[in-house]
Amino acid sequence: MKESRKKLSRREFLRSAAVFTTAMVATACTTPTPEIIKEREEVPIEVTRVVEVEGERVVEVEQVVVTATAEPAPPKEQAPAVLGTFPRSETFIARILTGRVGSPDNFNFWVGWKWNDRGLQNLAAEPFWTVDFATGDIINGLADGDPTYNADFTECTVPLRKGVAWSDGEPFTAADVVYTVEALKEYSGFNAHSFFVDNVDEVTAVDDYTVKFELTKPNSRFHTTFLDRWGCTRIMPKHIFEKEEDPVQFPFNPFVGCGPYKLHSFDPQGSWTAWERREDWDKSPTGIMYGMPKPKYVIYQYFADEGAQILAQLTHQLDVAELSADGLKALLAQSKTSRAYQPTFPYVVNNDPCITGIRFNTARPPFDNVDVRWALVLAIDIVEYTSIAVDSSGTLSAVHVPHLGPYPRDYIRPMQDWLKSFTIDVGNGETFAPYDPTAPQRVADYARSRGYIFPDTPEFIEQAFGLGWYKYAPEIAEKLLLKNGFSKNADGKWLLPDGKPWKISFMSGTVLSNHDARNAAAAVQQWKKFGIDAEMYATEHGDGLQATGDYDVSGGWPAQEPWGAGPDLYRVLDLWNSAYIRPVGERTQGHYSRWSSDEMDAIIKELRETDPFDTEAVIAVGTEGLKEAVRNMPGIPTYGYIGFVGWDEYYWTNWPGSENPYTQPYTHWPNFKYTTPFLQPTGM
Amino acid sequence: MTFVKRYLIPRLIQYVLVIWLGITIVFLIPRITPNDPVMRMIGELRGRGSTLEPGSMDGIIRDLTEMYGLEGSWLDQYWAFWGRLFRGDFGVSFFQFPTRVNKLIATAMPWTLGLLLTTTAITWTLGNIIGGLAGYYSRRSWSRVLDAVAMVVRPLPYYIFAFMLLLIFAYVVRWFPITGGAPLGAIPTFTWAYIRSVLWHSTLPAASLMILGGAVTFQTMKLLVQNINAENFVQYAKLGGVKESRIVGKYIIRNALLPQITGLALSFGQIFSGALITEIVYGYPGLGMLLYRAIINGDYNLIMGITIFSIVGITTAILFVDLTYPLFDPRVRYI
């Protein structure tokens, strides 16, 4: 039987193709119209947070009212119930920060780099202690309290938590700790091998839940090797590793840890790693402290492209997106269910324990001259600077620690009087007080003048913009340079003391949305305006070039990042120790600024000899360290690190936002496992 | 025998020399950049918060140098490299230590070959056929429409075009997935369900490569055919009453294909470098991102492993074209 078929003429075909193409373009052009909500309203919300009652952590639920952008409209469409092979409503999806996993079937994170943020550190592993920079607390994980040292800091004893089991059901005991330290000492392939060889003479189990380290030399901060701040020495399950002939080559697949999640599956291409809540989650420190994690599955997925992240969240296939400033704006404008860390401007996550800024190579003239460094500080108008760098959304800090966690209370507020009275010698008997406590208000006023709406209370201004920074004083900067033999040519450009044009090459990485490049762009603009021939130099090899001293100025951390919790600044100050400095051309072991001073060495020595748990003494010494850094300005602290996080409230709510910062807000930090019991499913 | 003596043997010697020279240059280049893999790993670990006490840094550098096999002079490393290469072993990846380079390449290669072999072959075939016809029938309206479409598509930056496809087909109409080579939770198996899901995930990456690549092939072929069509020998054939199909197939297309065949061979050779931007936009697995990361991290062994495929691939493709050219162009003779 001959089938009757209508023939499509060429004209009809072309006409149909044209109509189809037009329809596709028209459809693409009719995506939801960007809707930037500027109205604020008082929104009652229920928050769950952790409070300490008589030393115990207790979870409490409270009704609070927050100022927020208008409540997101109800979702207009139903998302798929199953994503891949996972029930979507029981699954939490976040992004792998550090990219596609290169060795997806190897979980031995004591050797090299194993993409620990794919769920290893943040779900499945448990350290002794973890810093929580949102609360300023140190959370006990496998440890049952603080360590204790003997008088000369040559012995350190750690109490361990009882009732913890590995995810394969074996109990966690001191034997695991002893095995770990002995294995790290024995095999040179482990990252921490040299540290433990250098520092630990012997480790013993006093009993099943107490471990004692006998140290090779006094070290009052030895315990911090077990303090998780996006990485630390973690404990191996002895019953698994002791069976391996070569634990360095052992891939440790499947991963076994003491965290509340166990390995479910992974993509051999490294695109995703899936974790499943343990049936015995109550035998993990997370479960013991905070209760059952709410998501049954957590998936860490790789997104190479920011656009793909945004599209994934708009279609509810990604619960947490980490974006650029523009990416976050686009997401919030398009999404009806996404929210940022802060409900109003500046929206961004502004509590991250890193201070961004400008790093000088003090081994290279003229940056070896403190007057030159201060001149470059005073040539910066911080209002313009933060506008260029981060659209006025950074929290300023005039000292070398960020304005978050315990630091405003312990250091920045108490140092205000000193900062106000601090002067620099401009020459000819003239001094100048560079500190400007009105800088945050000036940044806030500028942001408001650009149409941003946010609360006007002193508390909010401090939280969002900090307590102060330095004056814009180009005339003083000029005096400092003239004092040191610099001069200006007929074009108003600065010349070095030898008469050659002063050029500054500002090194940054190649990802222009990162804060090193943001600081570079802002500083270069400001210094050009001041008459210096400054330029940005983006390279992929920044770490090696800075480590060997082959650079002028960079956007690297102006000081080592602090712990983010507790008052101790040893981590910040010790990297300026002169003992670590190596000649230019060799990799320095200390801070890449290669700066040190006898005064700072003395402060570091005093801090080493101070009990880290003697809060008052630690703060006193730490304050002196910060003052010495301000006087010498080896790097310019500008604004605290900010993150551009978008949370989708379609499936999960009760995020640790600025109105409810019960814990740190990132999914790649080790503390994310402590967030999981507080996430609330929406029942979608 | 004359062919063997006067052409084949010298050409094969040249082939081996080019490969040796290429590999030697790739061995040297990463080592003269300021990107030291040991320092890079220390920087990475330090940046990621691992326990690297400043006081223990000398020991860490010593341990890593030993572990990566970077002790000794460059010459020692060079001999050791050739020794491993002749055993078919590229050594361990520094950045993904202790995973072997062979394993990393074997994992990524099927994705790259699957995507790029297919798209290159389809693009070349369709582009040439349609371009050839459009060139011969260049006055027809459909030829002009196709040419106009190619004119619009071809100058588009690949990233923009690929993302536009993603936006339309993954977000607006939601026919295809946003990212990845396979669904979340899917474990690779040789089943129809898995293969189908991989094809579904590959559709947009493949389409982006084929449309832009096809536009280039189409336009090149069209212009070649138009030029040849105006040649005297074609006009003479037409006047001589040779059948049109014979003129198109034997006189025009065959001549126009010669440069296209060289282009195809080079395209196949370059496949081993991967398709980096495609992999970034679509989160697609493959060699491109593996190579990019290896370069960034100074992962010498991995760089060598991937680029050797590329060097051998391109060199072999050119050799193959050189040797088979007489089959396509009778004017070429090696004796």
Could B178 and A587 be called an inter-chain contact, meaning their C-beta atoms sit closer than 8 Å?
Answer: no
pLDDT over 50 at A25, yes or no: no
Interface with chain A: mutation pick from B152, B184, B303, highest number of A CBs within 10 Å: B184
- From the CB of residue A151, how many other CB atoms can be counted at a distance below 10 Å? 8
Backbone dihedral angles phi then psi of residue A148, each to the nearest 5 degrees: -125, 145
pLDDT over 90 at A488, yes or no: yes
| pLDDT in the model for residue A70 | 45
Q: Which residue in chain B is spatially nearest to A247 when comparing CA positions?
A: B98
User: Is the Cβ–Cβ distance between A333 and A34 less than 8 Å?
Assistant: yes
Q: Which residue in chain B is spatially nearest to A88 when comparing CA positions?
A: B184
Helix (H) or strand (E) holding A616: helix A615-632
Dihedral sign computed on CA atoms, order B107, B109, B111, B114: negative
**Who has greater pLDDT, B52 or A220?**
A220
Could A100 and B285 be called an inter-chain contact, meaning their C-beta atoms sit closer than 8 Å?
Answer: yes
Nearest to A85 among B96, B145, B184 (CB): B184
Q: Which residue in chain A is spatially nearest to B194 when comparing CA positions?
A: A84
Count Cβ–Cβ pairs < 8 Å, chain A vs chain B: 213
Q: Which residue in chain B is spatially nearest to A229 when comparing CA positions?
A: B49
Could B41 and A112 be called an inter-chain contact, meaning their C-beta atoms sit closer than 8 Å?
Answer: yes
User: How far is the C-alpha of A323 from the C-alpha of A302, rounded, in Å?
Assistant: 13
Q: State the virtual CA torsion across B281, B283, B284, B288 in degrees, nearest 10.
A: 70
State the smallest CA–CA distance between residue B250 and chain A in angstroms. 27
pLDDT over 90 at A524, yes or no: yes
Residues of B in contact with A232 (CB under 8 A): 49-51
Task: Convert the pLDDT of each residue in A604-635 to its tens digit.
Answer: 999 999 999 999 999 999 999 999 999 999 99
Residues (pLDDT < 50) of chain B are none
State the smallest CA–CA distance between residue A184 and chain B in angstroms. 12
User: How far is the C-alpha of B149 from the C-alpha of A111, rounded, in Å?
Assistant: 53
Residues of A in contact with B166 (CB under 8 A): 307-308, 311
Residues of A in contact with B39 (CB under 8 A): 543-544, 547, 587
Could A301 and B179 be called an inter-chain contact, meaning their C-beta atoms sit closer than 8 Å?
Answer: yes
Q: What are the respective helix, strand and coil percentages of chain B, to the nearest 5?
A: 75, 0, 25
Find, among A390, A88, A132, the residue nearest to A286 by Cα: A132
Helix (H) or strand (E) holding A49: strand A40-53
Query: What are the structure tokens assigned to A197, written together?
Result: 């060889």
pLDDT over 70 at A22, yes or no: no
Q: What residues of chain B, 27 to 66, have a C-beta less than 8 Å from chain A? A: 33-36, 39-45, 47-63, 66
**Who has greater pLDDT, A77 or A309?**
A309
Residues 6+ away with beta carbon under 8 Å from A178: A203, A204, A205, A211, A238
Q: Which residue in chain B is spatially nearest to A314 when comparing CA positions?
A: B171
Q: Which residue in chain B is spatially nearest to A556 when comparing CA positions?
A: B47
What is the average per-residue pLDDT within A161-188? 97
User: How far is the C-alpha of A663 from the C-alpha of A305, rounded, in Å?
Assistant: 28
Q: Which residue in chain A is spatially nearest to B201 when comparing CA positions?
A: A84
| pLDDT in the model for residue A366 | 97
Could A308 and B281 be called an inter-chain contact, meaning their C-beta atoms sit closer than 8 Å?
Answer: yes
Nearest to B172 among A27, A83, A111 (CB): A27
pLDDT over 80 at A61, yes or no: no
Dihedral sign computed on CA atoms, order B162, B168, B172, B174: negative
Q: State the virtual CA torsion across A229, A231, A232, A235 in degrees, nearest 10.
A: 120
0.90 exceeded by pTM: no
Residues of A in contact with B65 (CB under 8 A): none
State the smallest CA–CA distance between residue B241 and chain A in angstroms. 28
Could B283 and A305 be called an inter-chain contact, meaning their C-beta atoms sit closer than 8 Å?
Answer: yes
Nearest to B280 among A301, A304, A314 (CB): A304
Could B57 and A587 be called an inter-chain contact, meaning their C-beta atoms sit closer than 8 Å?
Answer: yes
| pLDDT in the model for residue A476 | 98
Could A544 and B43 be called an inter-chain contact, meaning their C-beta atoms sit closer than 8 Å?
Answer: yes
Q: What residues of chain B, 236 to 255, have a C-beta less than 8 Å from chain A? A: none
Mean pLDDT of the residues in chain A? 90
pLDDT over 60 at A65, yes or no: no
Find, among A605, A610, A603, A619, the residue nearest to A566 by Cα: A619
Nearest to B59 among A14, A83, A197 (CB): A197
Return the exposure string of A296-307: e unless at least 16 CB atoms fall within 10 Å of the residue's CB, then b: bbbbbbbbbbbb
State the smallest CA–CA distance between residue B6 and chain A in angstroms. 48
Could B59 and A198 be called an inter-chain contact, meaning their C-beta atoms sit closer than 8 Å?
Answer: yes
State the smallest CA–CA distance between residue B281 and chain A in angstroms. 6
Residues of A in contact with B189 (CB under 8 A): none
Pairing mode of beta strands A272-277, A297-301: antiparallel
Could A231 and B296 be called an inter-chain contact, meaning their C-beta atoms sit closer than 8 Å?
Answer: no
State the smallest CA–CA distance between residue B127 and chain A in angstroms. 18
Task: Convert the pLDDT of each residue in A661-682 to its tens digit.
Answer: 999 999 999 999 999 999 999 9
Find, among B140, B139, B258, B156, the residue nearest to B215 by Cα: B156
Interface with chain B: mutation pick from A21, A267, A317, A571, highest number of B CBs within 10 Å: A267
Q: What residues of chain B, 114 to 143, have a C-beta less than 8 Å from chain A? A: 141-142
Residues of A in contact with B53 (CB under 8 A): 195, 198-199, 225
Task: Convert the pLDDT of each residue in A104-157 to its tens digit.
Answer: 999 999 998 999 999 999 999 999 999 999 988 999 999 999 999 999 999 999
Task: Convert the pLDDT of each residue in A267-295 to its tens digit.
Answer: 999 999 999 999 999 999 999 999 999 99
Residues of B in contact with A10 (CB under 8 A): 142
Nearest to B281 among A100, A305, A574 (CB): A305
Helix (H) or strand (E) holding A91: strand A91-95
Nearest to B51 among A31, A191, A540 (CB): A191
Residues of A in contact with B66 (CB under 8 A): 188
Place of tokens 């480790």: A203
B279 touches chain A (CB under 8 A): yes
pLDDT over 50 at A388, yes or no: yes
Residues 6+ away with beta carbon under 8 Å from A226: A127, A128, A129, A143, A158, A232, A233
pLDDT over 50 at A73, yes or no: no
Task: Convert the pLDDT of each residue in A547-587 to its tens digit.
Answer: 899 999 999 999 999 998 999 999 999 999 999 999 999 88
User: How far is the C-alpha of A151 from the C-alpha of A369, rounded, in Å?
Assistant: 41
Residue A538, sorted as left (phi over 0), alpha (psi -120 to 50) or beta, turns out to be: beta
| pLDDT in the model for residue A411 | 97
Could B50 and A83 be called an inter-chain contact, meaning their C-beta atoms sit closer than 8 Å?
Answer: no
Q: What are the respective helix, strand and coil percentages of chain A, to the nearest 5?
A: 30, 20, 45
Find, among A617, A436, A368, the residue nearest to A625 by Cα: A617
Nearest to A271 among B34, B180, B281 (CB): B180
pLDDT band at A49 (very low <50, low <70, confident <90, very high): low
Backbone dihedral angles phi then psi of residue A5, each to the nearest 5 degrees: -135, 135
Interface with chain A: mutation pick from B40, B48, B51, B190, highest number of A CBs within 10 Å: B51
- From the CB of residue B235, how many other CB atoms can be counted at a distance below 10 Å? 12
**Global ipTM:** 0.85
Residues of A in contact with B36 (CB under 8 A): 544
| pLDDT in the model for residue A304 | 86
Place of tokens 């051309």: A585
User: Is the Cβ–Cβ distance between A373 and A634 less than 8 Å?
Assistant: yes
DSSP A267-281: -TTSSEEEEEE-TTG
Three-state DSSP at A403 gives coil
